[in-house]
C-alpha cells in the first residue's frame, strides 16, 4: 500500500509549516503554564515531521494509549489524528504538560495510530542500525523502564521501536524514543562512536525464530527510507547490528529478510 508514495519528502515544506503552526497553537494554548526546562539539542521549533496518511478504513474505535517515554500530548494527538483538546477533555486533563510515561489515555473514535517521524536538521546521523529486541512482548514504555533499571538514566537505548502488536500497541506501530526526541547519543551498540552517528531502530520480537509480520516490514521500510532520504545516508551505511564491526550477535535475527528490505528501501 506504500508503493505509490515515491517520496514523502515532497511534502516536507508544507508539513514544516503545518507543524510549525501546530506548535504555535500548542504553546499559545498553554500560555499560563511555565515553559518546560530547556534541554540541550532539543529544538522543537525546528522539527519537521513526515506522516503516512491517517488510516481511513476499518472501524473507528476507542482505544487506550500508553504514554511512551518523553512523549508529548501534542505528538499523541498527531499520531491518532485527534485534536489535543478532545483528548484532554476525555481524560480530564487540565495541563497538557503533566502527562507521564506509562499513563493510560483514552483515545475515542480513532482508526488507530499512523506513523509520524520527527526529523531534526543535523549532519550527525550518517548510519542506521537495525535491531530486534529478541523478546516476545513489550513496547517503548517497558523497554525504557528496563533500560532505566539497567542504569541508563537517559532511557530506551534505541531511537525508534516498531511494535509487534503486544502491550496495547498496534502491529507495526512506530514509537519514537526519548533519545531521538532529545537528539542525544543512543545506547544500542557497544562501540561508542556508533552510538553517536547511528540511528538505532529496534523491531519488537525475535526474528531468528519467527518471520517478521508484513505491517512491521511496511513501516520499517517507510521509517528507514524517510531517514535515509532526509539525512542522505548511503545504502551501505544501513546495516544490521551483527554487521557493526566488532559485534558478536545475530541481531536482528537470522530470518530478517535483507534482500527484500534493501530492495524496498531503494525503490521507496
Ligand atoms: Zn541489536
Q: Which of 175, 264, 165 is nearest to 213 (CA)?
A: 165
pLDDT value, residue 11: 45
**Half-sphere CA count of 3, side-chain side, radius 13 A:** 3
Contact 251, 132 (CB under 8 A): yes
- The Cα 69–Cα 77 span in angstroms is 16
Give the distance (Å) from ligand 1 centre to CA of residue 145.
18
Query: Going from the N-terminus, what domains does the chain have, and what CATH number goes with each?
Result: 8-116 (no CATH), 122-267 (3.40.80.10)
Give the distance (Å) from ligand 1 centre to CA of residue 131.
4
Give the distance (Å) from ligand 1 centre to CA of residue 246.
13
Per-residue confidence in pLDDT tens, the chain, 268 aa: 444 444 444 444 434 433 333 333 333 223 333 444 433 333 455 667 777 766 666 788 999 999 999 999 999 999 998 999 999 999 999 999 999 999 999 999 998 888 889 999 999 999 999 999 999 999 999 999 999 999 998 999 999 999 999 998 999 999 999 999 999 999 999 988 999 999 999 999 999 999 999 999 999 999 999 999 999 999 999 999 999 999 999 999 999 999 999 999 999 9
Give the distance (Å) from ligand 1 centre to CA of residue 109.
36
Neighbours of 185 (CB within 10 A): 18
Q: What is the dihedral of CA 73, 75, 77, 79, to 10 degrees?
A: -140
Q: Cβ-count burial of 23 within 10 angstroms (0-12 exposed, 13-18 middle, 19+ buried)?
A: middle
Give the distance (Å) from ligand 1 centre to CA of residue 35.
36
Give the distance (Å) from ligand 1 centre to CA of residue 80.
29
Give the distance (Å) from ligand 1 centre to CA of residue 73.
30
- pLDDT tens, position by position, 185-202: 999 999 889 999 999 999
Give the distance (Å) from ligand 1 centre to CA of residue 255.
14
Check residue 150 and report its DSSP letter: T
Contact 131, 188 (CB under 8 A): yes
Give the distance (Å) from ligand 1 centre to CA of residue 116.
23
**Half-sphere CA count of 56, side-chain side, radius 13 A:** 3
Contact 162, 131 (CB under 8 A): no
Copy the grid coordinates of residue 33: 503554564
Amino acid at each position: 500500500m506504500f508503493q505509490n508514495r515515491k517520496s514523502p519528502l515532497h511534502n516536507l515544506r508544507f508539513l514544516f509549516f503545518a507543524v510549525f503552526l501546530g506548535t504555535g497553537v500548542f504553546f499559545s494554548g498553554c500560555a499560563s503554564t511555565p515553559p518546560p526546562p530547556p534541554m540541550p539539542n532539543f529544538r522543537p521549533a525546528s522539527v519537521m515531521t513526515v506522516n503516512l496518511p491517517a488510516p481511513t478504513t476499518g472501524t473507528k474505535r476507542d482505544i487506550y494509549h500508553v504514554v511512551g517515554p518523553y512523549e508529548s500530548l501534542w505528538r499523541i494527538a498527531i499520531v491518532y489524528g485527534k485534536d489535543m483538546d478532545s483528548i484532554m477533555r476525555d481524560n480530564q486533563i487540565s495541563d497538557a504538560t503533566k502527562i507521564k510515561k506509562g499513563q493510560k489515555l483514552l483515545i475515542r473514535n480513532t482508526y488507530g495510530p499512523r506513523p509520524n517521524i520527527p526529523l531534526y536538521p543535523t549532519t550527525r546521523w550518517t548510519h542506521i542500525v537495525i535491531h530486534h529486541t529478541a523478546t516476545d512482548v513489550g513496547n517503548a514504555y517497558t523497554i525504557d523502564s528496563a533500560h532505566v533499571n539497567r542504569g541508563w538514566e537517559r532511557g530506551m537505548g534505541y531511537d525508534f521501536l516498531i511494535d509487534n502488536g503486544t502491550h496495547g500497541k498496534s502491529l507495526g506501530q512506530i514509537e519514537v524514543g526519548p533519545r531521538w526526541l532529545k537528539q542525544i547519543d543512543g545506547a544500542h551498540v557497544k562501540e561508542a562512536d556508533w552510538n553517536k552517528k547511528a540511528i538505532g531502530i529496534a523491531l519488537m520480537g525475535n526474528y531468528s525464530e519467527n518471520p517478521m509480520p508484513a505491517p512491521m516490514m511496511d513501516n520499517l521500510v517507510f521509517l528507514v527510507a524517510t531517514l535515509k532520504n532526509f539525512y542522505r545516508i548511503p545504502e551501505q551505511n544501513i546495516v544490521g547490528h551483527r554487521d557493526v564491526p566488532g559485534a558478536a550477535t545475530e541481531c536482528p535475527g537470522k530470518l530478517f529478510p535483507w534482500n527484500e528490505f534493501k530492495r524496498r528501501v531503494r525503490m521507496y
